[in-house]
Amino acid sequence: MLIERNAFIVSFFGVLAGIILGTELMYSLLPGVLMSPQSSFSVCLLNESYAVYYLYPKRCIACEINIPPSCDGCHGFYDEQALSAVSSDLGVPLFFVVSEAVSDASLMIMADGRALLGSAKSKLMISQAVCAATGVKESCGVYSDYLSTVSSCFEDFGFESSALIYHHGGGCVHCSEMEESVRELMGLTYEGSPYSVVWLSEDDESEKEVLQECVGSILELRYIPQVICPANVKTHVGAMDLSQLRDFADECIEASELTS
């Protein structure tokens, strides 16, 4: 997900592209084009404006014969055939690249003279990144549909889209650290209204069902503590201090106002 503070933005994108793409196996999703490791090529921007590369971890290539932990998460990534369908839905050519430079599925977008690198673990993340970087109508439409579906799901359970979803669990040291920040946030206000936080525990089956139904197919829920914003479907895994959490909450409220 290309979140501004976490995005890896490189102005000299040609160097980055050479490092990631120059020595890796690259398959074009465009009909009739296949680049092999022996082929030499220069990086070009499609339509003279942007190019999008799906970086597939090389560690995942032989997962039919390998066992965890070397293949952790690999079966959830897109292969070439599945990525072709995503490419069609988003209205953007996505180049499949096997790379040693990433450990998880990642997206590299070259646009406006810079390279942006972000997570590509789900179609949601890919559509969000492509929409933000290129403004392609189809990609933005897919992302908008995700936002609407997730927000509506949480609202069906009685939770506002501006409320933070706090995913936690017992026996989690980092959850205990995070709880103090969450409780402090709930004692503060945003433009006169208290911050709203919905606590959903990993230890409660009914609360787990809410998470699975609303975001289980598009977000990674194996790790806690985790904060989720229904309005923009952004998430943060790991403890945050009060300042970081409040910034995340403010962004969530602003996103809900834009979509309301």
Q: What is the CATH number of the domain that holds 250?
A: 3.40.30.10
| pLDDT score for 229 | 93
The CATH number of the domain holding residue 43 is 3.40.30
For residue 198, what are the CA distances in angstroms to 79, 174, 201, 209, 238? 36, 18, 10, 14, 17
Task: State the pLDDT at residue 53.
Answer: 94
* CB neighbour list of residue 29: distance below 8 Å, 6 or more residues apart: 80, 83, 84, 87, 93, 94, 95, 96
Which segments of the chain have a pLDDT < 50? 1-47
Shared domain check, 186 and 231: yes
In the block, which residue shows the tokens 């999703």?
A: 29
The pLDDT assigned to 193 comes to: 93
Per the structure, the complete domain to which residue 191 belongs is given by 150-259
In the prediction, which pLDDT does 33 show? 26
According to the model, what pLDDT value does residue 71 have? 81
Give the total number of structural domains in the chain: 2
Choose the final residue of a domain: 82, 113, 138: 138
Q: For position 73, what pLDDT does the model report?
A: 76
Residue 226 lies inside a defined structural domain of this protein: yes
Of 109, 138, 167, which closes a domain?
138
pLDDT of residue 222: 83
| Co-location of 185 and 249 in the same domain | yes
My answer on whether 133 and 158 are in the same domain is: no
What amino acid occupies position 39? Answer: S
Domain limit, last residue, from 138, 167, 195: 138
- For the stretch 83-118, pLDDT in tens is 999 999 999 999 999 998 888 899 999 887 788 888
Backbone conformation region of residue 147, classed left if phi is above 0, alpha if psi is from -120 to 50, else beta:
alpha
